[in-house]
Amino acid sequence: MAAKKVLLLCGDYMEDYEVMVPFQALQAYGVTVAAVCPGKKAGDVCRTAVHQGIGHQTYSETRGHNFALNASFDEITANGYDGLVIPGGRAPEYLAMDEKVLDLVRKFSDAKKPIASVCHGQLILAAAGVVQNRTCTAYPAVKPVLVAAGAKWNEPDTMAKCTVDGNLITAATYDSHPEFISLFVKALGGSVAGSDKKILFLCGDYMEDYEVMVPFQSLQALGCHVNAVCPGKGAGEKCPTAIHDFEGDQTYSEKPGHDFTLTASFESVDASSYDALVIPGGRAPEYLALNDKVISLVKDFSDKGKPIASICHGQQILSAAGVLKGKKCTAYPAVKLNVVLGGGTWLEPDPIHRCFTDGNLVTGAAWPGHPEFVSQLMALLGIKVSF
């Protein structure tokens, strides 16, 4: 069967996770994803927003990453794609006023192609008139619009709620991503094999936002059991993250990211209970590399020959653990010194999304490489997505 092609409908101040996680996860699974925005062309950027609940009566908003489009809205047609994904955030409120957007959504609906919409994205579905007598969920504040448009409202008892009605997949928030993406893959005719794996994420304060959440939810969506731990913290506690981006300066900028919720306690972790280790980048690795228990854990995975996938500054930990000797690897370019001094053979990340596998080790340079990064880890674990 021909490779699947999916359209991602973007706009300024869409939610950061809600665009990037499905964008990169689907690519990692072998799906071609075209990201478009009305009035913009391939190579242009959409601003994103970080939305999260921090104890106020509604969610907070801060600036997210800059998201680069890879296709032009005026050049695409619905018949060229197998499915449509609509992120939430604030973009849907103005996209729902664009007749070209609504016409595009109606064409996907009329053709009964899978449509997956999350959070506030359902405002667009309501405006397009495609939710009449359809069971839908969404972020709770979208309920009045969906009900007025004739939808059958399915209350999200948790923010991870998903609902399926025929070709329509709706979800409450980015917490829904694992099930949301899994349901969309199935709707595209996909099946997953070999995903009965247990994977550990080594987290820390101010790890890079995308570099923890994209692989974390991508692997969950496949059906893997994924745990995230941080030294000195337990299950349910949070790590603040950092948004690292390139905005014209000589090095990356930093903005506050989402708070990431840990799922297990570091103190009770045993490498023998897991099939692989993932190390996100950001600023966390420079201090985690000083922690003897972290170093011991990484060595344990390495000694057992289990897959280790590390990205960006994560290789600072690998270098400190002495597991790069004789290995070929890449990293964020500024980490080359750590790699070389740690006995590794440096592989230039050109372009920046290049990732490499050497034996049990997968390394990447930065978050644009996530599709390759996750795909190469899947290969080591024997996980396959077929359509």
Single-letter code of the amino acid located at 92: P
Residue of 37, 312, 329, 355 marked catalytic: 312
Distance set, CA 92 to CA 97, 116, 124 (Å): 9, 14, 6
The answer to whether residue 120 is catalytic is yes
The answer to whether residue 203 is catalytic is no
Q: What does the alpha-carbon distance between residue 365 and residue 312 come to, in Å, rounded to a whole number?
A: 4
Indicate the DSSP class of residue 233: -
The answer to whether residue 119 is catalytic is yes
356 CA to centre of own chain = 20
- According to DSSP, the β-strands at 238-245 and 253-261 are antiparallel
The answer to whether residue 313 is catalytic is yes
Residue of 119, 203, 230, 239 marked catalytic: 119
Q: Which H or E run includes 219?
A: helix 209-222
Residue of 51, 258, 313, 370 marked catalytic: 313
Q: At what angle do helices 177-187 and 209-222 cross, to 10 degrees?
A: 50
Q: What does the alpha-carbon distance between residue 282 and residue 10 come to, in Å, rounded to a whole number?
A: 26
Residue of 212, 118, 116 lying closest to 167 (CA atoms): 116
Residue of 243, 320, 234 lying closest to 285 (CA atoms): 320
Q: What does the alpha-carbon distance between residue 215 and residue 310 come to, in Å, rounded to a whole number?
A: 11
Q: Which H or E run includes 317?
A: helix 315-321
Residue of 51, 65, 120, 370 marked catalytic: 120
Question: Which two structure tokens, joined as six digits, stand for 75?
Answer: 């050049």
- According to DSSP, the β-strands at 355-358 and 361-364 are antiparallel
Indicate the DSSP class of residue 282: B
**Residues recognised as catalytic:** 119-120, 312-313
